[in-house]
């Protein structure tokens, strides 16, 4: 599209076409608002990027999304239901401990039987309701919270690997109030995590008359041709209201309308447009620069958020090269087990159509907050490390087939100590009074499901905040 064909005035301009910006723009458009979504790259989806290469379908970013009702509503709304594929809900995730893979226990009987943690760790868990609640105010690290309430072993063997998988994070640095606010609330309100969880489960059972459409037990989902189907469908739903390859030259407050003026450069042409509300849905470090002139306090808070790097190293093997049956979602490896790879997702076991007949495809993640130097290694070295780890954990033999490696220098925002308080301060400055909203994975949840939920909420708030459309007067 040529920017000179663009209208001058929009109800809302959204900057950044990752899942957060796309969902906010899509929902606002569905609500009858005039929107424009501006993306600096030449494609939409941000971290989501599926690639078809030599008969393998690989994901360079996220691999799957949980089947929450917000996600399923969106899939239906976009007419993507026929494209949706789901993983086997019984497929276990494994943790590599003491030279063996152990399935993560997903039920109380499985927890009693598991060899992942010792009998004394299980007994320690039973004592959790009797551990005194913390009196101090302020945020606490996940490591400190878990040690206090659940014991060292649960921290090292269950919680730390889970945090590597979701945040690529360090439990000593991450804030329990920001990452697991429910657990912190259980302790402060019920005096115990177990007690609080039981109370919450009973409450939700009493409310089960409400229809729920989520895929129980929150199955992992993707699409036949990869996760990119979702951003691509969202982009189509916007029609011409999406500008890719555009550069924001400046943002200023429009004093006569109390909205914003956005100056854009696109294919050598410059244009200024007006909007009554603005959503910035870029990563935090970009948002900080964009907002410096119009909202310096928010910009300064957002600039404090740090990211952990990750390299995604997909490798393929012929089925007979792998000594262990790949009968699950994949494995996570706690630090200190002699394996540098953080985790391995068994794509071809999880979803159909990921590898040609006779082959398996594994996406291996390396780096994170505890090993940031790993992403700087060359391809040869990354492949060597990951292949050696897989030989040890999965008994693979022979040479791997190489697939394209992706390095995310700033992959996942880290909700470190102070993050919950920072987000509250950011949010108190945003909203109807300022005409400005933020959306993105650095606020309240890094998963795709969290991003979708937050972006939907932003769209609803904006719709309520701006004047009725002329059509609805
Ligand atoms: C390797 C990896 C694996 C992951 N695995 C999973 C998983 O399996 N399941 C899951 O639920 N989540 C996973 N996640 C997390 C999830 O993918 C992200 O949190 C989510 O996609 C972030 O979406 P976003 O829209 O907030 O940001 P982004 O995807 O970062 O989008 C931001 C957009 O803003 C654009 N932009 C940047 N600067 C500008 C500018 N100046 N002007 C205009 N546009 C700009 C960018 O190009 C981008 O398109 C993973 C993430 C990574 C990196």
pLDDT digits (tens, 9 = 90+) for 126-160: 999 999 988 888 999 999 999 999 999 999 999 99
**Nearest atom in ligand 1 to 310's CA:** 1
Q: Is 114 in the pocket of ligand 1 (CB under 6 A)?
A: no
Per-residue pLDDT, averaged over 227-232, amounts to 98
Q: Is 40 in the pocket of ligand 1 (CB under 6 A)?
A: yes
pLDDT at 120: 94
pLDDT at 209: 53
Among 14, 282, 290, residue to substitute to test ligand 1 (most atoms within 8 Å of Cβ): 282
CATH code given to domain 107-206:
1.10.3110.10
What pLDDT, in 10s, does the model give residues 395-423? 999 999 999 999 999 999 999 999 999 99
Dist. CA 18 → ligand 1 center (Å) = 5
Question: 3-48+228-305+416-472: which CATH architecture?
Answer: 3-Layer(bba) Sandwich (3.50)
For the cut 50, the answer to whether the pLDDT of residue 473 exceeds it is no
Q: Is 423 in the pocket of ligand 1 (CB under 6 A)?
A: no
Q: Is 19 in the pocket of ligand 1 (CB under 6 A)?
A: yes
Q: Is 447 in the pocket of ligand 1 (CB under 6 A)?
A: yes
Mean pLDDT for the chain overall: 92
Per-residue pLDDT, averaged over 441-457, amounts to 96
For the cut 50, the answer to whether the pLDDT of residue 212 exceeds it is yes
**Nearest atom in ligand 1 to 45's CA:** 49
**Nearest atom in ligand 1 to 312's CA:** 1
What pLDDT, in 10s, does the model give residues 313-358? 999 999 999 999 999 999 999 988 999 999 999 999 999 999 999 9
pTM: 0.94
For the cut 50, the answer to whether the pLDDT of residue 184 exceeds it is yes
CB distance 184 to 33 below 8 Å: no
What pLDDT, in 10s, does the model give residues 33-74? 999 999 999 999 999 999 999 999 999 999 999 999 899 999
Dist. CA 345 → ligand 1 center (Å) = 19
Per-residue pLDDT, averaged over 360-365, amounts to 97
- CA distances, 244 to each of 2, 32, 38, 286 (Å): 11, 22, 6, 16
Q: Is 367 in the pocket of ligand 1 (CB under 6 A)?
A: no
Per-residue pLDDT, averaged over 416-436, amounts to 91
**Nearest atom in ligand 1 to 66's CA:** 11
CB distance 405 to 375 below 8 Å: no
449 vs 228: CA distance, rounded Å: 15
The residue whose C-alpha atom lies closest to atom 19 belonging to ligand 1 is: 446
Q: Is the peptide bond before 183 cis (omega within 30 degrees of 0)?
A: no
The CATH topology of domain 52-90+306-413 is: Polyamine Oxidase; Chain A, domain 2 (3.90.660)
Among 20, 61, 367, 444, residue to substitute to test ligand 1 (most atoms within 8 Å of Cβ): 61
The residue whose C-alpha atom lies closest to atom 29 belonging to ligand 1 is: 46
Domain ranges of the chain: 3-48+228-305+416-472, 52-90+306-413, 107-206
Q: Is 39 in the pocket of ligand 1 (CB under 6 A)?
A: yes
For the cut 80, the answer to whether the pLDDT of residue 14 exceeds it is yes
Could you tell me what percent of the chain has a pLDDT over 70? 96
208 vs 190: CA distance, rounded Å: 22
DSSP string of 395-428? -B-SPPEE---EEEEEEEE--BTTHHHHHHHHHH
Query: Which H or E run contains 261?
Result: strand 260-266
Tokens 């590898």 identify what position?
355
Question: What's 175's DSSP letter?
Answer: B
For the cut 80, the answer to whether the pLDDT of residue 204 exceeds it is no
- CA distances, 344 to each of 36, 225, 350, 455 (Å): 38, 21, 12, 29
pLDDT at 219: 86
Q: Is 413 in the pocket of ligand 1 (CB under 6 A)?
A: no
Q: Is 24 in the pocket of ligand 1 (CB under 6 A)?
A: no
Q: 57 has which bridge partners?
A: 52
**Nearest atom in ligand 1 to 412's CA:** 53
pLDDT at 218: 67
For the cut 80, the answer to whether the pLDDT of residue 208 exceeds it is no
Question: What's 375's DSSP letter?
Answer: G
65 vs 83: CA distance, rounded Å: 14
pLDDT level of residue 471 (50, 70, 90 thresholds): very low
Dist. CA 375 → ligand 1 center (Å) = 18
pLDDT level of residue 470 (50, 70, 90 thresholds): very low
CB distance 34 to 300 below 8 Å: no
Residue 7 CB neighbour total at 10 angstroms: 10
Q: Is 233 in the pocket of ligand 1 (CB under 6 A)?
A: no
Question: What's 46's DSSP letter?
Answer: T
Dist. CA 204 → ligand 1 center (Å) = 32
pLDDT at 472: 42
Q: Is 87 in the pocket of ligand 1 (CB under 6 A)?
A: no
What are the start-end ranges of the H helices in 9-68? 19-30
Residues 44, 47, 53, 55, Cα dihedral to 10°: -100
**Nearest atom in ligand 1 to 439's CA:** 26
Residue 201 CB neighbour total at 10 angstroms: 10
Q: Is 363 in the pocket of ligand 1 (CB under 6 A)?
A: no
């Amino acid at each position: 599209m040529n920017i000179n064909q663009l209208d001058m005035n929009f109800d809302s301009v959204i900057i950044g076409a990752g899942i957060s910006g796309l969902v906010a723009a899509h929902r606002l458009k569905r609500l009858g608002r005039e929107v424009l979504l501006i993306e600096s790259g030449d494609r939409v989806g941000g971290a989501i990027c599926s690639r078809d290469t030599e008969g393998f379908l690989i994901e360079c970013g996220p691999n799957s999304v949980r089947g929450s009702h917000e996600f399923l509503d969106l899939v239906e709304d976009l007419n993507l239901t026929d494209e949706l594929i789901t993983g086997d809900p019984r497929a276990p995730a494994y943790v590599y401990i003491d030279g063996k893979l152990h399935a993560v226990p997903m039920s109380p009987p499985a927890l009693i039987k598991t060899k992942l943690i010792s009998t004394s760790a299980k007994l320690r868990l039973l004592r959790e309701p009797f551990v005194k609640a913390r009196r101090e105010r302020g945020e606490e690290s996940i490591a400190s919270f878990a040690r206090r309430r659940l014991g060292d072993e649960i921290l090292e063997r269950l919680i730390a690997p889970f945090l590597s998988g979701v945040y690529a994070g360090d439990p000593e640095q991450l804030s329990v109030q920001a990452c697991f606010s429910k657990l912190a609330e259980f302790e402060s309100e019920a005096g115990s995590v177990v007690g609080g969880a039981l109370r919450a489960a009973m409450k939700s059972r009493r409310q089960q008359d409400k229809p729920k459409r989520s895929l129980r037990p929150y199955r992992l989902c993707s699409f036949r041709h990869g996760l990119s189907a979702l951003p691509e469908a969202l982009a189509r739903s916007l029609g011409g209201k999406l500008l890719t390859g555009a550069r924001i030259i400046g943002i200023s407050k429009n004093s006569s309308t109390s909205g914003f003026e956005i100056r854009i450069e696109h294919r050598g042409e410059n244009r200024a447009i007006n909007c009554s509300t603005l959503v910035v849905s870029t990563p935090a470090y970009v948002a900080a620069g964009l907002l410096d002139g119009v909202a310096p306090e928010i910009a300064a808070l957002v600039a404090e958020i740090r990211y952990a790097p990750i390299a995604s190293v997909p490798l393929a093997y012929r089925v007979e090269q792998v000594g262990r049956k790949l009968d699950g979602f994949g494995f996570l490896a706690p630090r200190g087990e002699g394996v540098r790879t953080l985790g391995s997702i068994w794509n071809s076991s999880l979803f159909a159509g990921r590898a040609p007949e006779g082959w398996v495809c594994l996406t291996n993640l390396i780096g994170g907050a505890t090993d940031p130097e790993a992403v700087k290694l060359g391809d040869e070295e990354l492949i060597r490390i990951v292949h050696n780890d897989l030989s040890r954990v999965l008994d693979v033999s022979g040479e791997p087939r190489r697939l394209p490696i992706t390095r995310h220098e700033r992959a996942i925002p880290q909700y470190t100590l102070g993050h919950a308080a920072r987000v509250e301060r950011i949010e108190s400055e945003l909203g109807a009074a300022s005409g400005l909203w933020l959306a993105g994975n650095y606020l309240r949840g890094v998963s795709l499901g969290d991003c979708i939920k937050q972006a939907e909420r932003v769209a609803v708030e904006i719709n309520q905040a701006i004047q009725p459309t002329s059509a609805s007067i």
